Structure 1
Amino acid sequence: MKALVLSGGAGTRLRPFTYTTPKQLVPVANKPVLSHVLENIRDLGVREVGLVVGDRAAQIEQAIRDGSEFGLRVTYISQQAPLGLAHAVLLAADFLRDDDFVMYLGDNVFAEGLRAAAASFHQRRPDAHLVVAKVSDPTSYGVAEVGPDGTVQAVVEKPAQPRSDLAVTGAYFFTPAIHQAVRMIEPSRRGELEITDAIQHLIATGHPVTVDRYNGYWKDTGQVEDLLECNRVLLDRLSPEVDGQVDDATRTHGCVVVQEGARVTNSHLIGPVIVGAGAIVHNSRVGPYVAIGRECFIGDSTVQDCITLDGAAVRGVHQLRHSLIGRRAEVRADRRTTHRRLILGDDTQAEVPA
């Protein structure tokens, strides 16, 4: 089995970050979302990955390279415009050939992995096997309508009156039968070749389509709140590890990770917290649920439920919460009010009340 990972989306809901960084490279728990995706794929026993990339291809290639860091062989497939998931399958036909494959959206996190879904696909081998999750508002998703025998009777995109609460997530398993289906469909009203239309074509032509109900934590990290929530969930799964320097004046509680080359002095770390390699934390209260990137500086500040990307600095800011601070961004205090929330893109400077 091969894997097809889609990483060409524009990420408009995550601006200003995605003006400078592909959304798949924004980190949660100090690791890019795309790295979490590739690790899950490796855990399925897959070794060959087609990575569909758009106008940020160079940045993704620089981060992932040939995939050997993950134990994978990565082939890059260019999608010049976001013309739909089924269009990506069309582009990848020469790479996929006659192999079964898992298609995985590069901004989705499945915290417990996909091994159970893969095992179910291999055992039953339908022509499409959809990973679905129960949701409270099905009108925001593609929805799978499942019959009494467990096969999918219809896939409806964002139904006004949903007949099911099973949302189609960002992971799909296919046999080569999908290639004929994507060639048979027409672009949707938004001008894209929709994978839901291709799946519906399989159903209409008598091909078996089934589902695997995902009971673990799944999140599409397309918005800031989603990233912060996902960061909290993945931080809760870390194990304590201190490879950097923590002085005797620093107190730690709960799960604390201090990576090699990081220094923490005269501070209070309340886990779960991760301090990235080369970062400095001084005279600050950090946590819970904080991920500090590589080479960051946190000084004379109180930080909670935040992600600071590599090279960011927070100086003299009290009660910084629920915030996402971009690479090399700097936040300074002007000491006039209390609690604040910030969403700062890369290379930004901001002054806030201390």
Structure 2
Amino acid sequence: MKALVLSGGSGTRLRPFSHSMPKQLMPIANRPVLEHVLTRVVELGVTEIGIVVGNRGREIADALGDSSRFGARITYIPQERPLGLAHCVAVAQDFLEDDDFLMFLGDNMLSHGVTAIAEDFRVRRPAAQLVVHKVADPRQFGVAEVEPDGTVVRLVEKPAAPRSDLAVVGVYFFTPAIHEAVAAISPSGRGELEITHAVQWLIERGEAVCATEYSGHWSDTGRLEDVLDCNRHVLDGLAGRITGEVDGHSRLTGQVVVEAGARVSRSYIEGPAIIGARSTVCDSRIGPHTSIGRNCVIQDAGLGYSIALDGARVTGVTGVTGSVIGRDATVTCVSGSQQRLIVGDHSTVVVAA
């Protein structure tokens, strides 16, 4: 079985961060989402991985580096424009050939992986096997109507009146039968080849399509709120590790990682939290579910339930919570009542009244 990882989307919901990085490189517990995805793929024993990339493919390739560290061979497959998930299958057909394959969206996080589901697919081998999850508002997703035995009888993309609360998450297992389905469908009203339409085509022709409900935590990291929530869940599984320097005036409680080259002085860190390599935390308080990237400076500051990307500087500002601070960004405090803000496109700033 091969794997197809989709990493070509523009990430409009993650602005302003997606202006300067592919959304799949957003860090979760100091590792890009895409690295977490590849880890889930490789644990299935898959060693041939195709990654569909758009115009930022070079950034993704540079971030992943030597694919041998994942124990797999990576092939980058260009997609000129994001024309739908089924279109990704079409442009990857030469790579996929006649093999069964796993398709995994590059911005999806699944806490427990899909090893059992993959094994079920290998044994039963339906034309398509979907991973579904109950959601509060199915109107935002592809929705599956599923019989008690797991047979999918209908699949609808973002229905106005959903007949099920089972959303199709970004993980699919396919046999080569999907290629005929993709070739048979037409673009939807939004001009994309929808994978839900291709799977529905299989259903209507009597092909076996199954669904398995996912019991772990699933995150589509397409919005900043989802990124913070996903970061929280990953940090909850963190095992503490101190390879950097922590002075005797600091106190660490709970599971805290201080990476090599990082320095913590006169500070309190409540885990789960991670301090990235070569970062400095001084005279500060770091609350739980916080990730500090590499080469950051946190001075006389207080952060909780937040993410600071590589190179960020936060000085003299306390009470920072539920925040994402971009790469090489600076957050500081000045005396007096005036405030100075430099705010990029599509940003949100909340200040105290």
Please say whether Structure 1 and Structure 2 have the same fold, judged by a TM-score greater than 0.5. yes
Shift of 1:334: 2.1
- Hey, what does 1:29 align to over in structure 2? 29
Counterparts of residues 65-84 of structure 1 (less than 5 Å)? 65-84=65-84
The one-letter code sitting in structure 1 at the alignment partner of 2:27 is P
Which amino acid in the other structure matches residue 30 of structure 1?
N
SS of structure 2 residue aligned to 1:187: coil
Q: How does 1:104-183 map to 2 (within 5 A)?
A: 104-183=104-183
Report how far residue 345 of structure 1 moved: 6.9
The answer to which of 56-65 and 73-82 deviates more is 56-65
**Deviation of residue 352 (structure 1)?**
7.3
For residues 1-354 of structure 1, the aligned pairs below 5 Å read 1-335=1-335
Structure 2 residue matching 1:216: 3-state secondary structure: coil
Would the alpha carbon gap of residues 351 and 202 (structure 1) be closer, same or farther in structure 2, given more than 3 Å must change?
Answer: closer
Distance 1:75 1:298 in 2: 39
Q: Report if the CA contact (8 A) 1:325-1:345 is conserved.
A: no
In 1, the alpha carbon distance for the partners of 2:150 and 2:15 equals 40
The answer as to whether partners of 2:3 and 2:103 remain within 8 angstroms in 1 is: yes
Letter paired with 1:197:
H
Q: Give secondary structure in 2 for the equivalent of 1:196.
A: helix
Report the alpha carbon displacement of residue 211 of structure 1 after superposing the two structures with TM. 0.6
Asked if the contact 1:133–1:169 (Cα under 8 Å) also holds between the matched residues in 2, the reply is yes
SS in 2 for 1:129: strand
Once the two structures are TM-superposed, the CA of residue 138 in structure 1 deviates from its matched residue by 1.2
Contact 2:150–2:212 (CA under 8 A) maintained in structure 1 = no
SS in 2 for 1:206: coil
Q: CA deviation at 1:116?
A: 1.4
What is the SS of the residue equivalent to 1:156? strand
Q: CA deviation at 1:351?
A: 12
Which digits, 9 at most, give the CA deviation of each residue in 1:84-128, with x for residues without a partner? 000000000010001100000000000111111101111211010
Letter in 2 for 1:62: D
Any conservation in 2 of the 1:178–1:198 contact (CA below 8 Å)? yes
- Conserved 8 A contact 1:304-1:322: yes
Deviations for 1:158-192, whole angstroms, at most 9, x for unmatched residues? 11221111100000000010011100000001111
Once residues 98 and 162 of structure 2 are traced to their aligned partners in structure 1, the CA distance between those partners, rounded to angstroms, is 35
Shift of residue 136, structure 1, vs aligned partner: 1.5
Partner Cα separation in structure 1 for residue 84 and residue 350 of structure 2: 41
Read off the aligned partner of 2:168 and give its amino acid letter: V
Give the partner amino acid of 2:93: A
* Partner SS, residue 180 of structure 2: helix
Q: CA RMSD in A?
A: 1.9
Q: 2:328 is matched by which residue type in structure 1?
A: R
Structure 2 residues without counterparts, runs of 5 or longer: none
Counterpart residue type for residue 134 of structure 1: K
Provide the rounded CA distance (Å) in 2 between the counterparts of 1:243 and 1:66: 25
In structure 1, C-alpha distance between the alignment counterparts of 2:237 and 2:128, rounded to whole Å: 31
CA–CA distance in structure 1, aligned partners of residues 159 and 185 of structure 2: 20
| Equivalent residues of 2:109, 2:221 under 8 A apart | yes
3-state SS of 2:145 partner: strand
Structure 1: runs of 5+ lacking an equivalent? none
User: Partners of 1:69 and 1:213 in 2: how far apart?
Assistant: 31
Distance in 2 of aligned mates of 1:344 and 1:62: 28
TM-score by length of 2: 0.95
Q: Is the 8 A contact 1:219 1:230 kept in 2?
A: yes
Distance (whole Å) between structure 2 residues aligned to residue 108 and residue 343 of structure 1: 31
Q: Secondary structure at the match of 2:305?
A: strand
Amino-acid identity (%):
56
